[in-house]
Amino acid sequence: MPSASQKITPCLWFDSNCEEAITFYTAIFPNSKINHVQRYPDGVEEGPMAGMGGKVITAIFELDGYSFQALDGGPLFTLNPSISFMLNFDPSVDPNARENLETLWTQLSEGGKVMMPLGEYPFSSLYGWVEDRFGVSWQLILTNPDGEPRPHFIPSLLFVGDVCGKAQEALTFYSEVFPDSRIGTISLWPGGMSPEVEGNVMFGEAALSGEWITAMDSAQDHQFAFNEALSFSVECADQAEVDHYWDLLSAVPESEQCGWLKDKFGVSWQIVPKQLGEFMGGSDPERSARVMTAFMSMKKFDIAALQAAYDG
């Protein structure tokens, strides 16, 4: 499960190379480790788990102390730059920030796709945006040491297409859904920046239960949109908390399945009781199989029903 202080955990959906990807990430980021890998059972020939034997159903790993989840889900959804990760390199925290940024850029760029070349921009003396060879997007930035400190990892949402112009609404909405949240900096697009729309969000941020996210609008002709390939998992203490997040976030009934939902902006979330790790992580494969069978038929998680399946 995520670290005790991390309420929202990004989840990466891979086709079938999840283990290769997380091994790569934990090798290039400092202070990183794979905490847990659970695989689909062998021998299942029918239903949604058919043919998935041995592939990763859940992986939990940390990059420099920041928790991620990942899974093998097949080719149904593909990672894209609509959600990326801002990596802040702060010279006031790390005297080797520039060198460490450049090293990581080289590692992430190998076999990947450069979205914005590494170089000097009006907002930073060193910045670059890259999609790595596994499809995950990263924005590496040398931050202003005189500014308000920000964490090393920040998920960044790009509002394009039908949801372009809704970044500020989304930040406000998420800040209302998650307790103890606040809006940070909001910078708007000025006029004369066509195709960008004056008054849309050029850069915005919010701390959701203490965890920062960023958001921006872009009216350019992007050939991607939010999808399930990058979702956010929210760990819940009890059924009341599951109900709270589910009821406020879910806006697309046909997307509700196995604790997954899609909000009104198209962003996918997993609303997960903390007990699920205990139910699935025991040494009794029959118990785990019963729990898995139970939750595969659920939309919103029912903790009592999961407990009943666990107890047999």
- 3-state class (DSSP) for residue 34: strand
Residue 159 lies in a domain: yes
How many whole angstroms separate alpha carbon 284 and alpha carbon 80?
Answer: 37
Residues of the domain holding 279: 8-78+227-311
| 95 and 207 housed in the same domain | yes
pLDDT for residue 288: 79
Domain termination site, one of 217, 244, 271: 217
Residue 222 lies in a domain: no
Residues paired with 69 in a beta bridge: 11, 60
Domain termination site, one of 167, 192, 217: 217
pLDDT in tens, 115-128: 999 999 999 999 99
Residue 250 lies in a domain: yes
| 245 and 172 housed in the same domain | no
Q: How confident is the model at residue 304 (pLDDT cuts 50, 70, 90)?
A: very high
Average pLDDT, the chain: 92
What is the bridge-based pairing of β-strands 124-131 and 211-217?
unpaired
CB 6 within 8 A of CB 60: no
Evaluate if residue 1 carries a pLDDT over 70: no
Evaluate if residue 31 carries a pLDDT over 70: yes
pLDDT for residue 2: 46
| 243 and 129 housed in the same domain | no
| 50 and 153 housed in the same domain | no
| 112 and 210 housed in the same domain | yes
| 125 and 70 housed in the same domain | no
Residue 3 lies in a domain: no
Q: Which of 33-42, 44-53, 115-124, 210-219 is predicted with the least confidence, judged by mean pLDDT?
A: 44-53
| 98 and 74 housed in the same domain | no
Structure-block tokens of residue 146: 């005189």
pLDDT in tens, 198-251: 999 999 999 999 999 999 999 999 999 999 999 999 999 999 999 999 999 999
Which residues does 25 contact at the CB level (< 8 Å), separation at least 6?
32, 61, 63, 68
CA 262 to chain centre: 13
What average pLDDT does range 66-93 have in this prediction?
96
DSSP state, residue 257: B
Domain termination site, one of 163, 190, 217: 217
pLDDT for residue 286: 82
Written as one letter, the residue type at 278 is: E
pLDDT for residue 49: 55
Residue 198 lies in a domain: yes
| 29 and 115 housed in the same domain | no
How many whole angstroms separate alpha carbon 173 and alpha carbon 182?
Answer: 11
| 244 and 272 housed in the same domain | yes
| 151 and 244 housed in the same domain | no
| 27 and 148 housed in the same domain | no
Q: With 0-12 CB in 10 A as exposed, 13-18 as middle and 19+ as buried, what is 2?
A: buried
Residue 194 lies in a domain: yes
Written as one letter, the residue type at 179 is: P
The number of domains in the chain is 2
Residue 185 lies in a domain: yes
Residue 93 lies in a domain: yes
In this structure, what CATH number is given to the domain that contains residue 246? 3.10.180.10
Which has the closest alpha carbon to 58: 78, 35, 81, 28? 35
Structure-block tokens of residue 261: 């939902």
pLDDT in tens, 179-195: 999 999 999 999 999 99
| 116 and 23 housed in the same domain | no
In this structure, what CATH number is given to the domain that contains residue 144? 3.30.720.110
